[in-house]
Amino acid sequence: MTDGNQRGLWEHHFATNLARLRERAGMTQTDLARVLQTRYGLRFHQQTIQRIEAETRPIRLDEAHCVADVFDVSLSSMTSYMEASDQALQLGVDRVRRSCRRLFENLTEDGLELLEAIDQLTSDVFSRDQGQLEDWAPTPMEAWALVWLGSTSDVMGDLLSARDEAAELAGVPDGERGFPSDSLDLVGDTIERHWEKSLKQWSNLSTADLMKAVPADGQHREA
């Protein structure tokens, strides 16, 4: 097959899939043109969509990406042959994969924000114990903070596990999966050193109750 024939097939599949997806979404050609105008600034009209579907007007790469984005599918799906009976399944999997990619990105952003907060709390705890190790006796407030640190570190571990699984499903390259989690080792060391002391004071409280049990005057308030 020549390059020209392959290009023609891609354009034919794109036009066919465009019409199918538009109709499945309950959109008229005018509706789709309006979305492409308002969302992406493309100078599309009903006649533009009509000509693309009729394969009388070629579509530029940037335009094709915008169309695929409207229907939340990949460009490769738009340019691939699909039996009409299998299209829903193929596009459904494609949407799940794209959703996993967005989940990976959101978890990365949220994880970095949580990690920054955990790092700050760890630093505050270290400024209290000043490396005294076993000689340090945490106050009720310090013990409370340490239990919070342990709880949020567990959440971070779950977040990173979910992020890794989302990356795997989305096919995220290994080079994009890195996460600056080295500081979590420092958190773990801090918690391990003082956990038993803190746990004695706060072991009777659930994570939710910790929000209500702010120490006052050297004592803790039961939730």
pLDDT tens profile 131-182: 555 566 667 777 777 777 877 888 888 999 999 999 999 989 999 988 876 6
* pLDDT tens per residue, range 100-127: 999 999 999 999 999 888 888 878 877 7
- Rounded CA-CA distance 10/167 in Å is 28
- Cα-atom radius of gyration of the chain, to the nearest Å? 27
User: Do the beta carbons of residue 17 and residue 59 sit within 8 Å?
Assistant: no
Q: How confident is the model at residue 128 (pLDDT cuts 50, 70, 90)?
A: low
Query: What are the tokens at 5?
Result: 């024939």
- Rounded CA-CA distance 12/55 in Å is 7
* pLDDT tens per residue, range 50-89: 999 999 999 999 999 999 999 988 888 889 887 777 777 8
Q: Is 171 helix (H, G, I), strand (E, B) or coil?
A: coil
Query: What are the tokens at 223?
Result: 């939730």
User: Do the beta carbons of residue 18 and residue 51 sit within 8 Å?
Assistant: no
| Identity of the amino acid at 157 | G
- Rounded CA-CA distance 48/56 in Å is 10
* HSE-up of residue 84 (Cα within 13 Å, Cβ side): 5
pTM as predicted: 0.64
